[in-house]
Structure 1
């Protein structure tokens, strides 16, 4: 049997959500469990079978096995009109086989998101991303208020999950509080994954 890992699955168009995924992965590994970072291909008019298994740069594409075998999941997306990006939703919508087999029941999951503006739909995106995870029977974990950065942030960060305000050009880096909250979310998720191991 392979060592347990927490899957950090995200879609990122301009890199902001990817930066969050990297910080969440860092927090997961601080908890003492491996973080496996994966992404999904953009939605395109090409047949998915023609797309390469490994993108030209960045993280490799997630497989169903990556998701099925994980001990926990952090799911991240930029906000698209208060919802997750279509590329990530397309992947999630393809997981009905895992739903039918109950492969994800009882595993911890958390969500994270990035927006261009402060009131760009961060919380609705996080809540909408939780819905398919609950259908899978996953245990949803947010960020507890014991993380004082939640009380001090002036940009991203919610108890529902880490968020980031990337700015109108989508190139603003994570600030100190956003970074702290991403890592805290990863640690919390990693600790839960270890506790819930069979």
Structure 2
């Protein structure tokens, strides 16, 4: 049976490696968001006008029919979502199509295609389907475990520099708390 030290190192190494891509997504999108980029960075938006009488509740069918007739891409997910512009949308976070009534028998059809960074920011904000949400929650739990295992390896296995390690840990807490309080 491996020693506790070796066990904590193994846990630390393999969890770190597995969740590295997730960590990079959260780091890149968090930094981008702090610098003012949002999910609409690089967004390609196309709008079309549809003049047609559409029965109430038949907007989705009219939208899909319009897309087919005009050789436009139909989103893979055609479940409807009510949007904030009093219309409906179909699609996902990368590509979506929406239809909204602008006046009697007049509609605006909007197609949106996000960039890779925009997609990643939407995932960071938990706006996608549940699959990535499961990975994100797992990453949050593992991040906590990585710090516990890292502290265990560092503080208890390496006794030579213990005073310096506790000083750095204390400084990290102190500076984080001060800057957080000043930022509120």
- The TM-score by the shorter chain falls in which range? under 0.3
If each structure's helix is expressed as a fraction of its own residues, which one has the higher value? 2
Which has the greater radius of gyration? 2
